[in-house]
Amino acid sequence: MLLPQETSWAEGFEQNWQPGETGARDRLQDFLDNALARYGTDRDRPATAGTARLSAHLRFGEIGPRQVWHWPLNHVRSHGGSEDAAWSFLRELGWRDFNHNLLFHRPEMPERNLKQPFDSFPWRDDRNDFKAWSRGETGYPIVDAGMRELWDTGWMHNRVRMITASFLIKHLLLPWQWGEAWFWDTLVDADLANNTGNWQWVAGSGADAAPYFRIFNPVLQGEKFDSDGAYVRRLCAPLGSGAGRIAAGLCPQTLGSAVRSSGGGRRHFGGELFAAPRQSRQGPRAGTERLQRHQERGCIRQCGLR
């Protein structure tokens, strides 16, 4: 469990979150007024404020799913506009209830594969690769941007959550439980049902009709959803000109060459230089040792220590 130390890992969170019922209602109203109409397209673009960002408020009961369900439809009916956008948003809310339903019926889901054949999968045990992933130092711009957004804000855009999770599982072949544990420790909206349900969805071991070979290509995903590199540039601080194409995901290096090529302070992405994350926050990241204590997580959750 990550706890504040001399350098608080929660520094700056107050700039992004207004806890409480008022903050939740304000967040929802702002979304309805400014983003709902374009939600169907903007929700997949991490550089755009196109999502509701209500997950943390829902997690802590500051707003209820029934409130969130009715407000969008009432908004479009009273202010005009298409209900299609509202339903596009409400379908995502449905996934939340689906995961909670799964957890109710399958309480072993946080620790065990829902599909038992995955129990014998030969996962790699490479803590260095996991450390590079958790610190946003893989060499893949959109993956690194997402992991740095998570560390800096306690939140990550949903599209990028899928990309980073797929990278850990399908590219690095590291256990989904490692990624789930890291997200549990770092997300302000960490929710037992959604976190484990979505990680198993990406892994292919969960309640999903798609087979195991669904893979999010980080290069193509960057090209498609961050084509001008705006998201990556904001979070990875590119140095030099002409970084847009690289930032979008056109990065030829593999994890090993990208992480090891610079020897420390900077990471090379296809000829461009990106600043590494602030070193002042690396100390608390000793929380990766928690991966060696998977069995303790059940006690932590049951005892309400999170």
Return the structure tokens found at 144. 């690194």
DSSP 277: P
The Cα-based distances of 43 to 30, 31, 36, 40, 157 in angstroms read: 15, 11, 9, 6, 9
∠ Cα 125 131 137 (to 5°): 130
What type of residue is 288? T
Each as own residue / partner, the long-range contacts of residues 293-299 (CB below 8 Å, 24 or more positions apart, any chain) are: 294/111, 294/177, 294/181, 297/110, 297/111, 297/181, 297/184, 298/110, 298/111
Query: DSSP secondary-structure letter at 265?
Result: S
List active site positions.
Answer: 92, 95, 123, 158, 176, 199
